[in-house]
């Protein structure tokens, strides 16, 4: 690499609750020479960073604007209700929206669930963040409905959660600017889709590597045609000689 060349890198943003560690670990194993920069950002900020060129790709929550962003859905999370440990609904394995009819259900401004009708009773004010809402739940002000990963992210010993039936769900996707599908983005797509390093569906490997493999393959073919590593052409199996140079000497007397 000359002094004017810049080493490639990959800038990945992810939203709270998403755990990209496994994919980052595979990236570092497969592409140790390509640094990966990992940054957590608020869910609402991811789109602007991607379109502004400040990130190459992001692990975001759907929906995204498909007119400017490409996206590959990865998984859908279970929705849960976070409550104090002594709340009545903790006696059940799952909770329905009707079970929350008498509760104040907090609705933070950074909520990632697309509600048509929020269950329960509304609070006088919406908390600014999910973290603020968790504090209010701990204070006995109300309950909070979130994706499971956010309940785990904001875990407290005095709170617990239960699955909530008939509630909106949040899906996580890998997204990137449609006009900027780089080689590094293709590499990360292969990783999140579980492709092996030799998968034919991945992007093409460097030409220098491919040329070297062709040379190695050609050398192995020539050795096989030559009869093995020794390279002796025309050797007959089990004779100890060749077609042009049969074993010298005749049979021993008395045989």
**pTM for this one?**
0.74
Q: What pLDDT score does 196 carry?
A: 83
pLDDT at 3 over 70: no
Predicted confidence band of residue 10 (pLDDT cuts 50, 70, 90): very high
pLDDT at 221 over 80: no
How many whole angstroms separate alpha carbon 44 and alpha carbon 48? Answer: 8
pLDDT at 207 over 50: no
How many whole angstroms separate alpha carbon 233 and alpha carbon 117? Answer: 82
How many whole angstroms separate alpha carbon 206 and alpha carbon 241? Answer: 44
Q: What pLDDT score does 19 carry?
A: 94
Q: What pLDDT score does 222 carry?
A: 55
How many whole angstroms separate alpha carbon 178 and alpha carbon 15? Answer: 20
Among 158, 152, 124, smallest CA distance to 138 is for 158
Q: What pLDDT score does 218 carry?
A: 53
161: three-class secondary structure by DSSP: strand
pLDDT at 242 over 50: no
pLDDT tens-digit map of 94-108: 999 999 999 999 999
pLDDT tens-digit map of 40-84: 999 999 999 999 999 999 999 999 999 999 999 999 999 999 999
Strand pairing partners for 144? 82, 106
How many whole angstroms separate alpha carbon 67 and alpha carbon 178? Answer: 8
Q: What pLDDT score does 241 carry?
A: 45
Element (H, E) at 220: helix 207-225
pLDDT tens-digit map of 27-38: 999 999 999 999
pLDDT at 138 over 80: yes
Q: Left if phi > 0, otherwise alpha if psi is -120 to 50, otherwise beta: which for 168?
A: beta
Q: What pLDDT score does 220 carry?
A: 53
Q: What pLDDT score does 223 carry?
A: 55
User: For 76-228, where are the alpha helices, taking DSSP H only?
Assistant: 130-138, 148-153, 183-192, 207-225
Element (H, E) at 171: strand 171-177
Strand pairing partners for 61? 172
Q: What is the mean pLDDT of residues 103-130?
A: 96
Asked if 87 and 196 count as a contact pair (C-beta separation under 8 A), the reply is: no
């Amino acid at each position: 690499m000359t002094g004017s060349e810049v080493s490639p890198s990959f800038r990945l943003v992810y939203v709270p609750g998403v755990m990209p560690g496994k994919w980052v670990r595979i990236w570092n194993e497969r592409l140790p020479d390509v640094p990966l920069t990992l940054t957590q950002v608020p869910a609402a900020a991811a789109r602007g960073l991607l379109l502004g060129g400040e990130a190459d790709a992001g692990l975001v929550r759907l929906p995204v604007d498909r007119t400017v962003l490409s996206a590959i859905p990865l998984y859908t999370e279970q929705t849960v209700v976070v409550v104090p440990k002594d709340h009545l609904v903790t006696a059940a394995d799952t909770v329905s929206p009707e079970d929350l009819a008498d509760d104040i259900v907090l609705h933070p401004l950074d909520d990632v669930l697309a509600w048509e009708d929020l269950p329960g009773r509304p609070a006088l004010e919406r908390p600014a963040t999910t973290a603020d809402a968790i504090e209010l739940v701990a204070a006995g002000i109300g309950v909070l409905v979130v994706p499971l990963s956010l309940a785990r992210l904001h875990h407290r010993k005095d709170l617990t959660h239960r699955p909530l039936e008939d509630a909106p769900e949040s899906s996580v996707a890998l997204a990137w600017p449609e006009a900027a599908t780089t080689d590094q983005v293709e590499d990360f797509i292969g990783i999140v889709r579980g492709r092996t390093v030799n998968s034919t569906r991945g992007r093409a490997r460097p030409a220098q590597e491919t040329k070297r493999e062709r040379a190695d393959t050609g050398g192995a073919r020539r050795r096989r045609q030559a009869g093995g590593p020794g390279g002796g052409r025309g050797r007959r199996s089990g004779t100890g000689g060749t077609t042009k140079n049969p074993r010298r000497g005749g049979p021993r007397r008395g045989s």
